[in-house]
Homo-oligomer: A and B are copies of this chain.
Amino acid sequence: MRGNLFAVAVDLVVLTVRDGVLCVLLRERAAPPFAGERALPGGFVRGREDLLDAAGRELLEIGLAIDGHHLEQLASYAAPDRDPRGRVLTVGHLALVPDLPEPPGECIWVPVAEAGTLAFDHTQVLADGVERARAKLEYTTLATAFCPAEFTISQLRRVYEAVWGTCPDPRNFSRKVTSTPGFLVPTGTKVSSGRGRPGQLYRRGPATALHPPMLRDQPSDPPR
């Protein structure tokens, strides 16, 4: 078998919305390389694991339950000098989780806008993950992955505002999501958010696609 051998890692772009701000889960590296710098959580693929299994295990080790969370493969990165220890290919994964009371494991939540430069090529992996999340909010129902099991339309709208930085008119947004079949399932109960009229509670519906899509004001120009 020609070709050289690689260690294969999975790295996780775990995104959430905290207080209206899109945040990513980062870990400060204890050991070299890049000791002391911030990096995406991740680790090597073990034994007979498949990629998504390895990513799920890393989520578990961080302290996040697997099921109920969105987890998908992003892209692979294998520049020859990306890891000084040798040839390491990493498969970036995107995980979306609802707001959690405490940062899990040894990790910290950092606003995406303040993430700065990360270890390895994780700056690029993070950028790709955020762009993927932004794009998918347009044409899928993925925004619910940022919400707890039951949520109001306001909470869902705040997800769009945090991820996109903007969002359509609240009243039209409400109509759009409730009129898409299978997007939201009303629970029948209402909840008060402190002030104002209480909102209807919803769960995720079975729909995944959004037709027609939700429109951003100035969508970014993705590379072909």
Contacts and interface: CB of A to CB of B under 8 A. Distances in A.
A1 B50 contact: no
A91 to B, nearest CB: 5
Contact of A224 (B8, B45, B91, B136): B136
Copies per complex of this chain: 2
A185 B165 CA distance: 34
Contacts of A85: 1
Contact of A219 (B8, B211, B221): B211
Interface in A65-99: 70, 72-73, 75-80, 85-86, 89, 91
Contacts of A212: 215
Interface residues of A, number: 47
Given A50-B78, A219-B211, A45 B3 contact: yes
A49 B4 CA distance: 10
Given A1-B86, A44-B3, A80 B50 contact: yes
A101 to B, nearest CB: 25
A142 B70 CA distance: 29
A174 interface: no
A49 B80 contact: yes
17 contacts: A2-B43, A2-B44, A3-B43, A4-B47, A6-B6, A6-B45, A8-B89, A49-B80, A50-B78, A51-B77, A72-B224, A78-B91, A89-B89, A140-B222, A208-B221, A209-B222, A212-B215
Interface of A: 1-9, 43-51, 70, 72-73, 75-80, 85-86, 89, 91, 136, 140-142, 145, 208-209, 211-213, 215, 219, 221-224
Given A45-B78, A208-B224, A213-B213, 10 more contacts: A1-B86, A3-B7, A3-B8, A5-B6, A6-B45, A49-B80, A50-B78, A72-B223, A89-B89, A208-B223
